Structure 1
Amino acid sequence: MSHPSGSLPGRVRAGYALGSLVTGAFGTVPGLLLLPYLTDTLGVAAGIAGLLVLAPKAWDVLINPVAGRISDRTRTSMGARRPFLLFGGLALAVLFALIFAAPVRSGAYVALVFLAAATAFAFYQVPYVAMPAEMTDDYAERTRLMTWRVAFLALAILASGALSPMVTKQFGDGIPGHRAMGVFVGVLILVGTVGSFLGTASAPTGRVMPSEPSFGAQLRVVRGNRPFRLLLVCFVVQAAGIGTMLAGVSYFATQVLESPDTGSTVLFACFVGPALLVMPVWTRVGRRVGKLRAYVLASVLFAVAAGLLVLAPFLPAVAVYVITGLVGGGYAGQQVFGLAMLPDCIAYDAERTGRRQAGVFTGLWTAGETLGLALGPGVFAVLLAAFGYVSSETGEAALQTDTAKLGVLLGFTVVPAVVVAVALVALRGYDLDERRLVEVSEEVKA
């Protein structure tokens, strides 16, 4: 099918967006529950637990670009990307359930299965993220498509992040509760896999372009794409800040809000619920001020609101939840405009070089994002260890000192706020907008 230039049908947008059940579940639940599972159920020391969570994700730095190059060079009757959606997603659903199966109390077992799951996720996520650049070359349509995707992503975060702790508690916490939770999230991933595969059956596949002859040549082209480099650095650093905050949800609810039973669920509901409401607002803001400025505004909102949460010990719970809603609104904007700017960078490269290598760009992008999200729990674990957090094997958190609680508070509030704000420095010099894309296209034609 030729490269499309108009709007996509609603059924294609919805079908593509269903893939957010896969990316949202795997991007959220390990960052939310895996570190507490290791420290408070398996009794793994906080520092070691942080390494066990980080190491398998670091593998994505190597495997994601490889997955991207493979999908770039794939030719099937279903297109280059869709076969990976099916087989990568099915494997991930099974492996995710196995992460929390815990046949033995072993952190090494968790790390090995998590590594396998991260590999399966790479072969789903990289082709999935590459598809928008090939589904449409309309600058505004990319924002609309990402709005659908992020709306479904918010629902996925709510379903997986808010309900997973509830499922765990319903089945008795500890190992039995986590086993049930693993199956629950595995089913969500399965639904997203099948939905995105079938829903994109009629999606345009874009022009088939030659790719660079070697992986090294492709990386050199990526290095030559300045807008992509700047956007990637900012997004990865911000992912580390967001990952730090996600890792602290359970600890913050238990140690600061003193609400171990419902605090995590309410925090997630407050984080995600407003995100669904502000999606139309962010779309209008993007049309008015442009994607870059809207991205900066969303990041500032996230950073300011996250910083205000440091006052949580002195605020009523309702105020904490309202501020958390503002954090979620900022996060929604970051996702919409960051993901809408990525296909612009890929389209810029295609016009400039005449080569088809969206998979390489998205491979590096998803590798960086995954590493950033994985660094978050590692950063939070270092803070826990530095402030004297005590691990437990009972399935419930041990009694903590005021110093340990301070570490939890700073890790959930000030650290993510600073990281997200500082990352914006990387966007200085980013100048890729609709006018610039048209100029590049005209220069190539001339």
Structure 2
Amino acid sequence: MLLANQSDGASGLGRATKAGFALGQVAGQLFRDAPSLLLLFYLTNVMGIAPAIAGAAIFVPKVVFGVIFDLWIGVASDRMAARFPRRQWLLVGGIAAPFAMLGPFAVPEAAMMVQVAWVFVTFSAYMAVYSTFSVPYLAQFAEMSSDPVERTELMGWKHGFTGLGVLLSSSFAPMLVNRLGMDRQGHLITMVVLGLIAMTCLLVAWRFAARIREPGGAAKAFAIRDLPRAFADRRFAVLCLSAVVMTVGAGISYAGFPFFVKYAMARPEPLHDIGVMSAIMAVAVMAGSPLWVMVAKRIGKKQTYVIAASGHGLVTLLWGQMAHVPMPVAWALAAIMAACNAGWGTIVLSLLSDCIAHARDEHGENRAGTYSAIWSVIEKAGIALGGTLVVGAILSAWGFDAAAARAGVAQSAEAIAGTVMAYSVVPGVTKLIAALIIWRFVHEKPQTEEGTLAHA
């Protein structure tokens, strides 16, 4: 690897190209967050489908089919890279994005089983489209530069646009639905708008990706049968372990947030407060990403990750112990948490890109799509697991009464403590564990003429 100030080692890409390609991350964030926030509520409260049945119709495609699609696309994008460049997957995904976004919400007025079948099929197609662009997109990000310092900068651009995606999916989308009337038409119009935004972002990224040169040198592609061998790469296995812990905690936190705001914080309009705090968090992510890139250049990726993840965990734990603080204090806590999220989120992707570069340089194998697919599987499955089964088990164990919640009856003190456990305690501890894994098992080589490459 060459140093960042040596022109022949860097990508040679200008800021406009980096920003234009990073804009595609907005589409990824919309696909990840919008259904998580809106679809189950829509199916139960607007279409009248029982929560358990609606949840199953979403969960199976999201986890089972999501895993299959991610792995197939990852391996296929590696094996077809010479004749079907990764950027072309963005074009396919961009064209399909509006239809995929609208499909699960365009439930017909029919018998419930017909509606459930519609959701199952259309959400499966949704996950296929999501995999089509998200896995090759992450893989191309990892291949854009041979310089590990510049790869951190590139992931900073990517994570910065994550903030814009959060703003659109977690703040703009629910506010638009609320403005349009919370009915079927309001949801459909919102999904059309989000789908067109996703399409535009992907097509812009596809256009700018034409300026990115493909990695030089022939490299053997992974096959499906080679997937278990990916975990023989200790660097990659360590990152995956930390990601499992972090994403399950994130899923618990996402799903537990409305319960924490309504019951522990005792807010009369929790959705409004969540929208405001989501906007604050989005701005903090966008502002924090470039700052963490500068920090990583000074102290290294490992220390930066540990500081950011530990800070995120500690603030999460602190918030749970001071749930009744005034809202300006809660806004400040939300901003600090999001800024820390920007730090570890940027750095862990940079470490992943280092693993991909190492596999190409040391083993002569193109694992970019495969590693990106496995990473995507961990993120989707971890968030789905934490946000459904685990958070449900925590709330039930502490005695949360769904019937009382529906009737507007106050929850017990133990149930309220369960909401703190779900949003604060368990997620906070998982972030500290992830920081410990990186601190203990990831090591960075000293700065040399070969650059800096994190390894385990």
**C-alpha deviation, 1:297, in angstroms:** 1.1
TM-score (norm 1): 0.88
Whole-Å separation in 1 of the counterparts to 2:409 and 2:91: 45
**C-alpha deviation, 1:44, in angstroms:** 5.2
Query: Which residue, out of 208, 213, 233, partners 1:199?
Result: 208
Whole-Å separation in 1 of the counterparts to 2:46 and 2:298: 49
1:259 aligns with 2:269: yes
1:110 aligns with 2:110: no
Q: Judging changes above 3 Å, is the alpha-carbon distance between structure 1 residues 440 and 187 closer, same or farther for their aligned structure 2 residues?
A: closer
Query: Which residue, out of 14, 22, 27, partners 1:17?
Result: 22
Which residue is 1:36 aligned to?
Answer: 41
Q: Judging changes above 3 Å, is the alpha-carbon distance between structure 1 residues 148 and 391 closer, same or farther for their aligned structure 2 residues?
A: farther
Whole-Å separation in 1 of the counterparts to 2:61 and 2:117: 11
Conserved in 2, the CA contact under 8 Å of 1:139 and 1:434? no
Cα-to-partner distance string for 1:229-256 (whole Å, 9 max, x where unaligned): 1011212321222222222344444444
Whole-Å separation in 2 of the counterparts to 1:38 and 1:254: 22
Q: Which runs of structure 1 show a deviation greater than 6 angstroms over 4 or more consecutive aligned residues?
A: none
Tell me which moved more, 184-193 or 416-425: 416-425
Conserved in 1, the CA contact under 8 Å of 2:77 and 2:86? yes
Does the residue aligned with 1:262 lie in a helix, a strand or coil? helix
**C-alpha deviation, 1:342, in angstroms:** 0.8
1:68 aligns with 2:55: no
Conserved in 2, the CA contact under 8 Å of 1:39 and 1:391? no
Counting aligned pairs with the same residue, the percent is 28
Query: Which residue, out of 309, 321, 345, partners 2:331?
Result: 321
Conserved in 1, the CA contact under 8 Å of 2:78 and 2:222? no
Tell me which moved more, 83-92 or 27-36: 27-36
One-letter code of the match for 2:75?
R
1:299 aligns with 2:305: no
1:237 aligns with 2:241: no
Cα-to-partner distance string for 1:163-205 (whole Å, 9 max, x where unaligned): 1110111111143332232222212211211111112111111
**C-alpha deviation, 1:55, in angstroms:** 2.0
1:416 aligns with 2:420: no
Cα-to-partner distance string for 1:303-344 (whole Å, 9 max, x where unaligned): 111122224542112211211111111111121101111110
Which residue is 1:356 aligned to?
Answer: 366
Question: Cα RMSD between the aligned structures?
Answer: 2.8
Whole-Å separation in 2 of the counterparts to 1:37 and 1:114: 14
Whole-Å separation in 2 of the counterparts to 1:48 and 1:316: 39
Conserved in 2, the CA contact under 8 Å of 1:68 and 1:361? yes
**C-alpha deviation, 1:414, in angstroms:** 2.1
Q: Judging changes above 3 Å, is the alpha-carbon distance between structure 1 residues 400 and 100 closer, same or farther for their aligned structure 2 residues?
A: farther
One-letter code of the match for 1:201?
A
Tell me which moved more, 155-164 or 416-425: 416-425
Does the residue aligned with 2:441 lie in a helix, a strand or coil? coil
| Matching of residues 55-94 of structure 1 within 5 Å | 55-58=60-63, 59-75=65-81, 80-94=85-99
Gaps of 5+ in 2: 1-6
Q: Judging changes above 3 Å, is the alpha-carbon distance between structure 1 residues 214 and 347 closer, same or farther for their aligned structure 2 residues?
A: same
1:5 aligns with 2:9: yes
**C-alpha deviation, 1:208, in angstroms:** 4.5
Query: Which residue, out of 274, 293, 299, partners 1:283?
Result: 293
Conserved in 2, the CA contact under 8 Å of 1:85 and 1:196? yes
Does the residue aligned with 1:413 lie in a helix, a strand or coil? helix
Q: Judging changes above 3 Å, is the alpha-carbon distance between structure 1 residues 55 and 213 closer, same or farther for their aligned structure 2 residues?
A: closer
Which residue is 1:166 aligned to?
Answer: 175
Conserved in 1, the CA contact under 8 Å of 2:157 and 2:290? no
1:429 aligns with 2:435: no
Whole-Å separation in 1 of the counterparts to 2:183 and 2:396: 22
Does the residue aligned with 2:181 lie in a helix, a strand or coil? coil
Q: Judging changes above 3 Å, is the alpha-carbon distance between structure 1 residues 193 and 244 closer, same or farther for their aligned structure 2 residues?
A: same
Cα-to-partner distance string for 1:112-136 (whole Å, 9 max, x where unaligned): 3222211111111110000123211
Query: Which residue, out of 274, 277, 280, partners 2:284?
Result: 274
Conserved in 1, the CA contact under 8 Å of 2:75 and 2:369? yes
Gaps of 5+ in 1: 442-446
Conserved in 2, the CA contact under 8 Å of 1:275 and 1:332? yes
Whole-Å separation in 1 of the counterparts to 2:352 and 2:449: 13
Conserved in 1, the CA contact under 8 Å of 2:26 and 2:201? yes
Whole-Å separation in 2 of the counterparts to 1:93 and 1:397: 34
Whole-Å separation in 1 of the counterparts to 2:305 and 2:78: 29
